[in-house]
Amino acid sequence: MVFIRSIPVVAIDNNLRGITTDGKYLWWLGSQNDSIYQMDKSGNLIQTIPIGVIDDTPMGITTDGKYLWWIGQTNDNIYQMDKSGNLIQTIPVGAIDTLPTGITTDGKYLWWTGSQNNSIYQMDKLGNLINTIPIGAIDFNPFGITTDGKYLWWLGSQNDSIYQMDKSGNLIQTIPVGAIDTLPTGIRTDGKYLWWLGQTNRILVQMDRN
């Protein structure tokens, strides 16, 4: 795993949460200002979408290319919205896990992490639970999650590591990232690179997956 660069984002928001990409742009959450930020991959801010009136503890975010899906921990919901910030759908998940953290999609399903039960949850886009994968034995403080379609990649802040596993829950590899930044929060892959957020230094990190 090769470190490529980091982008300081503390001037935009100092409480970094989830991150995703639609291939061209990066979209990330900050809970200082309770907003979604759209930026290019050079770090230039394109758009800010305030979301605090919907949920003031945003945690994870993903996109299926057309819509944004993000998790709010105040109300324990998954929110679907368009890229202009219009709310499409609200999916309650508190009955499954009251501390939802990260979210990703493989196009068909939503995969999200919860730190109450230290698990990864697979559900359809209407909110029906398909599968639960316990991960507390690996890291009991899961945050962000992403998928390249075949594998899941998720962050754990107990060990400051990125974990790669298959969709059945089998661990493939562990990548320590604490030397770059501690308290990793959000993660996303664009197919070639991993992009993740480090809370201690308030940076966006780009790494080669190989």
Taking alpha carbons only, the member of 142, 171, 167 closest to residue 152 is 167
Q: Of 123 and 1, which is predicted with more confidence?
A: 123
> 2-208 maps to which CATH number?
2.120.10.30
Give this prediction's pTM: 0.95
**Residue partners of 209: CB distance under 8 A and separation at least 6:** 1, 148, 189, 192, 193, 194
Which amino acid makes up residue 190? Answer: D
The tens digit of pLDDT for each residue in 183-198 reads 999 999 988 899 999 9
The answer to whether the CB of 109 falls within 8 A of the CB of 94 is no
